[in-house]
Structure formats: C-alpha cells, structure tokens
Amino acid sequence: MGDGGREDGTATIARAGRPLAGIACLIAGSFVLTLTDAAAKWLTARYPTGEIVSLRAAVVIVIMVVVVAARRRLPMLRIHDLRGQVARGLLACASTMLYIAALGTLPLADAIALAFVSPMFITALAGPMLGEPVGWRRWSAVVVGFLGVLLVLRPGSTAFQAAALFTIASSLCGAMRDVTTRRISRTETSLAILFMSNVAMLVGGMTSLVQGWVMPTLLDAAVLAGSAVLIGTGHYLHIEAFRLAEAAVVAPFKYMSLLWATLFGWLFFGHFPDHGVWAGASVIIASGLYIAHRERRRAVARLPAERRR
C-alpha cells in the first residue's frame, strides 16, 4: 500500500486483456512503492518529515516538467478547477506527511496494514461527499474492517503505539483525497492533478521546516532522488496493471504490499509482525476485497446490457 500519496485504482473497470501481465505489473508496482516506504522510514531517523516530503516532491516536479516539455504536452498541466486542485493537494500533503511521520516509529508492516483501511473510509465518505448510496453490505464490511483495525492497534495494551493513529489519520486524508479526485477528474487531467499534488507537498513540506533543516549527505540525497523516481515508477506500474486486466483480477494482488513490508522490515530494521498484526491485517484485507467486489458489481450493473456480455 504505502504512503498516502498513492492512488487507488480499484474503481476502474477494464476489459479483460492480458491478465498475467496486469498481475505482474501490480506485484512489481507494490514492491517498488513499499521499497520507497522503507527508504522513507530509513530517512526519518536523520531528517525532519517536512524535508523528506518537500525534497522528494521537488524531484518529481522537475522530472514531470522536463518530460512534459520534451513531449510538448505542457497544456496537459493547465488548471481548470483551482479550488478543487488546492483542496486535493492539501489532502495529499497531509496524508503523505502523516504517513511518513508514522513510519518513523511504527514497524513497516504495521503501518502498511493500517493503511489498508482507506477503502473503508472511501465507502463512508461516498455518501456525504459524492451523494453515492452505500448499502448495508458495504457498511457491514466497514464495521468488520474496523474490528480488524482494533486487532492491529490493540488499544489499552502494551503493544499500542500512538503513532498508529497517524497512519489512520493519513488513510482518512488519503480517502478524502481520492474522493476529491473523483470530483475534479471531470475537468482536470491526470498530469495536472499529479503536478499540483507535488506542488502542494513541496510547499507544505517547506512550511514545516521550522523544525530545522539537515543538509543531506550524498548517499541520503541519492536515496531521496531515487525514491522519488521509484514513486513515479510504482504509480505507472499500477496504472498499467488496471489497463491490462480487469480490476477484479488484479486488485487482490495489491495486498502483496504487506508481504514486501514484512520482508523489508525484517531485512532493514529487524522487525517482524506479531500474531495480532497478521490477524488484524487479514480482517482488514478481507473487508477491503469485499468492498472492491461490491464496487465492481455496482459499476457493471450501471453498464448498458450489451457491454456486460
């Protein structure tokens, strides 16, 4: 799953094309994005959260401008809904900063397991923010998913960490970001949305530098730049996955992030999830998969009869 800057593509309904290629893209994309989470966690030991967010966003902005200018597609960055773009950018910035702040304390697998609550928040927000009806089945999945969160958090026990609440808050901001994306995508291009999100993260990260600025070493600067490139690569692979195959085929494989997080957490930080995290993550994932299944059924039901054949 990873940081709050990630987009959820499970709402996309695509025709079956190359399912194995789509699955491979999603697994590879999850690997890459989880690796960037591990890099962010490694950097939090030495650098303020705002510095990590702003420097990473600056690299993405430079790359985007160079690529878009080289392809003569600068009009694709034009803004039509400034208010919506600003709102989404602020939510993306808040989601990313909260998630990276949580990574500084939480084991990587715990943070990613809790980040999987985003589909539940999107379901809860679809009614008040988009006017979409939410039936009792999806509300039941939200309640079950919340029970999974409690299994991971274990409030009142010695295993509870307050930083876990940052991850929950990050997922809430991320869900609001994704719902806002649905609203503004009618007038805004994907490139414009991605560009403005990174501008917001650059500015938001810099405003938080009252904590201080630490000059990056050459190694850390390379890690920052590399992780920015990998974030773009990971998102591209996710987009390709949902283009190559139906969402119902590839969506379950996004939960491979938890396995990658367990591997990286053990290799780099000596952390391994306990039974409570595995149990809670299983419940959260089951809830998320059911919500995705119900979303797909609703989307298919809205298609004309000839397109369902």
CA-to-CA separations, 124 to 120, 204, 216, 251, 299, in angstroms, rounded: 6, 27, 41, 20, 18
pLDDT in the model for residue 14: 39
CA-to-CA separations, 217 to 44, 46, 138, 161, in angstroms, rounded: 14, 10, 48, 31
**What separation, in Å, do the N-terminal and C-terminal C-alpha atoms of the chain show?**
33
For residue 248, is pLDDT > 80? Answer: no
Residue 170, SS3? helix
Which three-class secondary structure string do you get for 57-94? HHHHHHHHHHHHHHCCCHHHHCCCCHHHHHHHHHHHHH
Q: Yes or no: say if 253 and 69 are a contact pair by the CB < 8 Å rule.
A: no
Read off the pLDDT of residues 219-233 as tens digits, 9 standing for 90 and up. 999 999 999 889 888
Q: In 3-state terms, the chain is what percent helix, strand and coil (to 5)?
A: 75, 0, 25
pTM of the shown model: 0.78
Number of Cβ within 10 Å of residue 69's Cβ equals 11
- For CA atoms 238, 277, 259, 265, give the dihedral sign: positive
pLDDT in the model for residue 163: 83
pLDDT in the model for residue 299: 62
For residue 159, is pLDDT > 70? Answer: no
Interatomic CA distance for residues 3 and 18, integer angstroms: 28
E strand segments, the chain: none
Interatomic CA distance for residues 208 and 204, integer angstroms: 7
pLDDT in the model for residue 160: 65
Average the pLDDT over 272-280 and give the result.
82
| 12 Cβ contact list (under 8 Å, min separation 6) | 242, 247
* Residue at token pair 């509300």: 139
